Structure 1
Amino acid sequence: MSASFDKFFDQDGNIREGVLTGNTWLKLLTDTDNVYVNAERLDSIGSLSGKETLMYVMRTLDILDEISSEKELNKQEKDVIETVLKWSEVAKGGLSKERNEWRKKGYPIDIHNIASAEIYKDETGDDGLIYTLIKTHGVIGQCIRGEISVSANKELLAYRKYNALDMKRLLLVLNECIIRAVSDKIWDSVKVSTKSLIDNIVSGELTEFSPQYRLQRLCPGEMEFFGSDVDFFAKEIFPKYELWYFEAALSSFDMGQIRTILTNTVKEIEISGQEVLHLNFKPLADSLLYDYEGKKHVNVYKKRIIEKYLLDSSVQNVDIDVKIENKSAFVDFKFSKVCEKLIEFCVEAERSGLLTFEKSIIVLYDMFGFRRDAFDRLNNEDKYLMTMNNVSASTKDSIIDYVTGESVVDVGSGGGILLDKLEGKFPDKQIIGTDISTNVIETLDQKKHREGHKWNVLVHNFVDSTMEREVGSIIFSSILHEIYSYTEGTNGKFDIDSVKLALRNAYDSLGKGGRIIIRDGVKTSGNAVRKIRFKTEAGLDFFKNYVKDFKGLKDIPEEKKVLFIDEDKLTVAGDINFIREFLFTYTWGIESYAHEVQEQFGYFTLEQYREFFEELGAKVIVAKELLEPGYPDNLGQYLNLLDENGNVVEYPASNCIIVAEK
């Protein structure tokens, strides 16, 4: 605690007997049900105690005691500053009854320097120097931050020469106390500017800062703005309004978004027809912040919804919220109840940890029947399709060489990159794209008309039916493992019959000489044991989560999937197929975990592919397996793969290419 605090409180934090007598300022700061603090200065929202304002005032008094001798303050000067510091924050205190009375009197209690001055005058009858210093308390700092005009200090001009007081010294000490009590670092950065502005006030010069300078001070750091932005502030904002909590609320937005917020705020003010002198963004600052892992963060879910509204004001479920009281406009955004619940869901899921968060999002997929794969399809279908189109297509290029016949079907066309490649290589063939997602087909259809493609698309699922007419080639590129992982067969998910049914229907859709072309994961033959030695505990944690969450490989007894986990040596051992599935999930990282853990990438060995197609009467003309080079390159950073005896071994094959001809 501080020395000033100890004057008024005992070691248990209880107020000392009799100290409230004659100290109304202290009663208002201690006996309050109002928690008012600039969240910008907090490390954690959860750290709020309700005593922040009181402790801030105590720090200002401590600093005054510390520097009064150094600054050679006389007793009258110190007494004036001490009184100002004690009373300057009282509008943030008081009980609800008192605060309501202040509002009825017209005191703008959220513009706390003005309201505190009026409360002081009510209590003491003084409307002189101390009243004026309370009223202008913090204004110099706001000028330096670009929030208000220099002319807001004009009331100080009447006291430039006041009795035995050195006003320059008095103002400098007062501002050092109030700024250092927030942060010594901030004081170090502004003390030269503070001294310069005080020099001007004492000399009677209230020269305004340029709009360019004010905007630079309002938007510190890397925020970019242009001449049009300076003109906007110079004409629409600076001459009309003081800005409160501007940086605290708006620093995470870009200048275009800030201008939209301000423009919409001004429109609401004009519609109201009320006089407004202050734009107060504290409600927005408070609502945008929350705690994650014990630290304050911007609520990115709420911010993204606001950003969408700022791009298109017709967006439903969110709108700007401007409340006007005592010439102040309080700015925030209001959300529909549905929108608030969704934000709440995302925040709570995130607080459970990233893995739980990703898995919680899957709950929404299950509830609403959205398609699920390695991409976040719920909140950004466009991003999914763009990602699909940007995927390296080297293997896809190679499988195109096996196409035959006059028509070719791309199963699960996604973003359409394979359709484009097929059209480029076979301009005279009929190319058909399919997907089980109506949204994907609609987007592909738009792409077709926008870019002038000849291929066609349709909603189709080979698990359900054959094509309506015979085709020359059918390509399954990284699709069959999704059919295997997500289709609810008679035995639930991970039912090989779903893959067999899709392939039979595809085979029946071929004309004579037609081909099924597969590019997908491959299962490893045999039941060898493989070990993994992780290089970090994070890798072992990932593995333990995978063991708990992965539901595939039903053909392997549970006790054989994982043979042991040695936490001390960061080593695990298990069946080669379980280890292989883990490896090729781990390489995608924790962000994709919730999706990837639901999929079994290898469902047939190379030999099982051969046997199945031969049973159909097909001729297997290509059957080869390969290891994508990116897998060992990436995984080598995090682990070593060993055989049963602890020797380093090569990774099992990850993919295969199968071509079966009718």
Structure 2
Amino acid sequence: MLTATQDDVYFERMASSLGDKARLLHLTHGSRVLDVGAGGGEFAELERINGKQVTAVDGSWVALDHIRENFPLVDRVHEYAHSLHYEFKEDEFDTVVCSALMHEVYSYGTEASPPYSLHAVDEVLESIWTVTKTEGTLLIRDGVMPREWDKPVRIETAPGATSDVLAFFLWYAQQAPFFNTSGDPRTVHLRIGDDGRSLEGNLASAMEFLYTYTWGWEPSERETRELYGILTLDDWIDLLDNHGFTTRYSTEYVQPGYVEYLSTRVRIVDEQGAPVQWPSTNMILSAWKR
């Protein structure tokens, strides 16, 4: 949910991840492509250059204005992801692309579903199913919850580093709506360790906090509202299956930049103090409509 004061940093970060989004190009099938939650429009423009008839959809006029100014040949439509079936025909698109969209749908909700509810994601998948051709393709690139999400870990300042991670944590704990001690996988429950210098919790909580930490202080007011890894890869595959999509390709990986940025500031260790390998941050799913 972009505002005029947040768009510069957002669009800069989205443009910088275009190389990562380009991994979706070889998974695109057919000629008619719908880019849902198109953001700055960089990927939609790339699809257009590659000969696709692409339509960029976003619920933010700020985003659509950015696309109009920078990529005027891309078709633009103002619509929300859960109501695509009101704007487009049934079976209209060969491929529907959702890049970094689903975690926002979950975090902000819809008219019918409150924030932080998987019902909002269900709504979007139902709408996408309607506008996708039979045997057409749904592509999702988004955050992913670690497979060992409940593994107890500790966040420490990296050796030789000066880190503001504790100060950032105190601010984050006041800002993030999903910060609590319930133990649910889609909450963040960290605490300052007995040593007064580390943070303790499970791996999913640690990663959610660190995702926001990578944005820095200035743009994080928006980012503290968003939960990035809402499901594990296997849970995503099951959810798509429940909505009539069969996954034919899936992968999870660490998005370039995360480790390089974080490893100079913090490290993650287990209960015995041994370093924990950075878990996957992102996933790509390609599924066909049954």
How does the TM-score come out when normalised to structure 2? 0.87
Number of residues paired by the alignment? 280
The 2-side partners of 1:485 and 1:389 are apart by: 18
1:545 aligned partner: 171
How much does 1:581 deviate?
Answer: 0.1
How far residue 385 of structure 1 moved from its aligned partner, in angstroms, is 7.7
- SS of the residue corresponding to residue 601 of structure 1 reads coil
**Residue aligning to 2:27:** 402
* Match runs of 1:366-381 below 5 Å: 371-372=1-2, 377-379=3-5, 381=7
Q: Secondary structure at the match of 1:463?
A: helix
Unpaired segments of 5 or more residues in structure 2?
none
- 1:440 Cα deviation after fit: 2.9
Please say if residues 540 and 567 of structure 1, whose CA atoms lie closer than 8 Å, have aligned partners that are also in contact: no
| Aligned twin of 2:138 | 516
> 2-side partners of 1:445 and 1:561: how far apart?
38
Q: Given the superposition, is the C-alpha separation of residues 432 and 561 from structure 1 closer, same or farther in structure 2, using an over 3 Å criterion?
A: closer
Question: What residue number does 1:609 align with?
Answer: 236
1:321-370 CA distance string (max 9 Å, x none) = xxxxxxxxxxxxxxxxxxxxxxxxxxxxxxxxxxxxxxxxxxxxxxxxxx
Gaps of at least 5 residues in structure 1 are: 1-370
TM-aligned CA distance change 1:444 to 1:651, over 3 Å: same
1:283-362, aligned counterparts within 5 Å?
none
* Alpha-carbon distance between aligned partners in 2 of 1:538 and 1:380, rounded to the nearest angstrom: 23
**What are the within-5 Å matches in structure 2 for residues 276-287 of structure 1?**
none
- What is the identity, as a one-letter code, of the residue corresponding to 1:400? L
* One-letter amino acid matched to 1:433: A
Q: Equivalents in 2 of 1:539, 1:509: separation in Å?
A: 44
Aligned partners of 1:489 and 1:495 also within 8 Å? no
| CA RMSD after TM alignment | 2.5
Give CA-to-partner distance per residue, 1:167-189, whole Å, 9 cap, x none.
xxxxxxxxxxxxxxxxxxxxxxx
Q: Is 1:393 the counterpart of 2:18 in the alignment?
A: yes
**Rg bigger for which structure?**
1
Q: CA deviation at 1:529?
A: 0.9
For 2:163 and 2:22, the matched residues in 1 are separated by 39
Q: Given residue 500 of structure 1, which amino acid in structure 2 is its aligned partner?
A: D
CA contact (8 A) 2:41 2:71 kept: no
* 1:502 counterpart = 2:121: no
SS at match of 1:587: helix
Distance 1:442 1:638, change over 3 A: closer
CA contact (8 A) 2:34 2:93 kept: yes
Task: Measure, in 1, the Cα distance between the counterparts of 2:88 and 2:127.
Answer: 11
Whole-angstrom distance in 2 between the partners of 1:419 and 1:640: 36
2:99 equivalent among 464, 467, 477: 477
Question: Which SS does the other structure have where 2:286 is aligned?
Answer: strand
The answer for the alignment partner of 2:227 in structure 1 is 600
Supply the distance in 1 between the matched residues of 2:132 and 2:181 (Cα, whole angstroms). 31
Structure 1 length as normaliser, TM-score? 0.40
Matched, 1:577 2:199: no
The answer to whether structure 1 residue 434 and structure 2 residue 54 are counterparts is no
CA distance in structure 2 between the aligned counterparts of 1:385 and 1:575, rounded to whole angstroms: 28
- What secondary structure does 1:527 align onto? coil
Give the Cα–Cα distance (whole angstroms) in 1 for the partners of residues 14 and 220 of structure 2.
21
Contact between 2:248 and 2:288, CA under 8 Å: does it hold in 1? yes
Which protein, 1 or 2, shows the higher relative CO under an 8 Å CA cutoff with sep ≥ 6?
2
Query: What is the alpha-carbon distance in structure 1 between the residues aligned to residue 154 and residue 9 of structure 2?
Result: 34
Q: Which amino acid aligns with 1:409?
A: L
Amino acid at match of 1:618: F
Conservation of the 8 A alpha-carbon contact between 1:537 and 1:570: no
Residues 589 and 484 of structure 1: is their aligned pair in 2 closer, same or farther, counting only changes over 3 Å?
same
Name the CA shift for 1:405/1:522 in 2 (closer, same or farther; >3 Å).
same
Q: Is contact 1:476-1:519 (8 Å) kept? A: yes
1:464 paired to 2:83: yes
Which protein is richer in strand relative to its size?
Answer: 2
User: Deviations along 1:397-419, whole A, 9 cap, x unmatched?
Assistant: 11011111220011122222112
